[in-house]
C-alpha cells in the first residue's frame, strides 16, 4: 500500500481498491471504491484536510496538495450541468444489482455503503462491479442550473480499475423504504465501516424504473479529482420523503462541489 494512502486523517477511511492503487491514480476520494478490508490507519495532520466551505473549500482544493492539482488544472471535471445535451442517443445501461449485506461508514464528507461482490452495471459493452454508494445534499449535478435536494452516486470499477458512476437524483415525495435502511444505520459522526447485522440492502430498489441516462466523461467530485470517470446520471429521479432528505442532510451537510465547466465535452441524453 503506498504510504501516501495512509497520510491523511481526512482520507484514511477512503482507501482505494488494489486495482486502482495500481492504476497510478492518486488516492483519497469518496467517489472512488473502497476496499472493505483496507486498514483505516491515519496519521492526523500530515496531509491536507479538504472541506466544502472556508479555507479548505472547493476553490482551493487544487492548491492544498500536489496530488490534488487536477482539481484546478483538470479540463474534464465533475459535476456538470446536465441541461442542454448535445445529442440524444440510445445508451444501453443495465444494472444487475443483487441484494446483500450492508457495510456502512461516515468518512466525514458523506455517508457511504460498501457492497459485496455480485452487482454489475453494464454500459454499452463495458461491465463494472458495484463497489459503493454515497450521498450528496443537495445534488452535485444540476439541470439547467437547478439542483435536486439529493443525489446518490453508485461507484463501480472494471477489471482494469476504470471507474463508472451512476447518479440517481432524489426529489421530495414518497417515503423510500430501501433508503431508510441506510438512514437508520448511518453513523452520525465520522466512523469506519461496519457491517450492519440483520439487514439486507437491495441496491436495485434505489434505482428509478428507467435507466435512460445522461452520459459524459468526467472526474471524481472530491480531491484528488482524478479524471477518466465514466459518468451516467439517470434522467428519471426517485423519491425520498422530506424527513429522510433532512436526516441525511443533517448528517453530511452541504457536500456538493460547484458545477464545473464542460469545456466542449460531449453530453448525451439517453433514450433507453
Binder of Zn ion out of 8, 17, 31, 215 (CB under 5 A): 31
Neighbours of 159 (CB within 10 A): 9
Give the whole-angstrom CA distance, residue 191 versus residue 109.
11
Residue 112: CB minimum distance to Zn ion, A: 9
> How far out from the chain centre does Cα 63 lie?
22
Residue 208: CB minimum distance to Zn ion, A: 18
| Contact range with Zn ion by CB under 5 A, out of 5-13, 26-34, 41-49, 258-266 | 26-34
Residue 151: CB minimum distance to Zn ion, A: 7
| Contact range with Zn ion by CB under 5 A, out of 25-33, 60-68, 210-218, 246-254 | 25-33
Residues 56-95 within binding reach of Zn ion (CB under 5 A): none
Which position's Cβ is nearest Zn ion? 153
Give the whole-angstrom CA distance, residue 71 versus residue 58.
8
Neighbours of 5 (CB within 10 A): 19
Identify whether the C-beta of residue 187 lies closer than 8 Å to the C-beta of residue 174: no
Residues 135-174 within binding reach of Zn ion (CB under 5 A): 153
Residue 31 or 67 with smaller CB distance to Zn ion: 31
Residue 119 or 222 with smaller CB distance to Zn ion: 222
Residues contacting 22, CB < 8 A, separation 6+: 161
Three cell numbers written together for 22? 495500481
The residues binding Zn ion (CB under 5 A) are 31, 153
Amino acid at each position: 500500500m503506498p504510504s501516501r494512502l495512509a497520510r491523511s486523517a481526512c482520507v484514511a477511511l477512503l482507501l482505494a481498491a488494489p486495482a486502482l492503487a495500481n492504476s497510478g491514480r492518486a488516492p483519497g476520494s469518496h467517489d472512488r471504491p473502497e476496499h472493505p478490508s483496507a486498514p483505516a490507519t491515519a496519521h492526523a495532520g500530515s496531509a491536507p484536510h479538504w472541506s466544502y466551505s472556508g479555507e479548505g473549500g472547493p476553490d482551493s482544493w487544487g492548491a492544498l496538495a500536489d496530488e490534488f492539482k487536477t482539481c484546478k488544472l483538470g479540463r474534464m471535471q465533475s459535476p456538470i450541468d446536465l441541461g442542454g445535451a448535445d445529442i440524444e442517443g440510445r445508451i444501453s445501461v443495465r444494472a444487475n444489482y443483487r441484494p446483500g449485506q450492508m457495510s456502512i461508514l461516515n468518512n466525514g464528507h458523506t455517508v457511504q455503503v460498501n457492497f459485496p461482490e455480485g452487482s454489475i452495471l453494464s454500459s454499452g459493452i463495458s461491465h463494472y462491479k458495484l463497489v459503493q454508494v454515497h450521498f450528496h445534499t443537495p445534488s452535485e449535478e444540476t439541470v439547467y442550473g437547478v439542483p435536486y435536494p439529493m443525489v446518490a452516486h453508485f461507484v463501480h470499477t472494471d477489471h482494469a480499475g476504470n471507474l463508472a458512476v451512476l447518479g440517481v437524483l432524489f426529489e421530495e415525495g414518497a417515503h423510500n423504504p430501501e433508503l431508510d435502511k441506510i438512514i437508520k444505520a448511518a453513523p452520525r459522526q465520522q466512523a469506519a465501516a461496519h457491517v450492519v447485522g440483520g439487514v439486507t440492502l437491495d441496491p436495485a430498489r434505489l434505482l428509478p424504473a428507467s435507466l435512460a441516462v445522461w452520459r459524459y466523461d468526467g472526474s471524481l467530485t472530491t480531491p484528488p479529482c482524478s479524471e477518466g470517470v465514466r459518468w451516467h446520471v439517470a434522467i428519471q429521479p426517485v423519491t425520498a420523503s422530506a424527513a429522510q432528505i433532512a436526516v441525511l442532510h443533517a448528517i453530511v451537510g452541504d457536500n456538493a462541489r460547484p458545477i464545473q465547466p464542460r469545456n466542449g465535452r460531449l453530453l448525451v441524453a439517453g433514450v433507453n
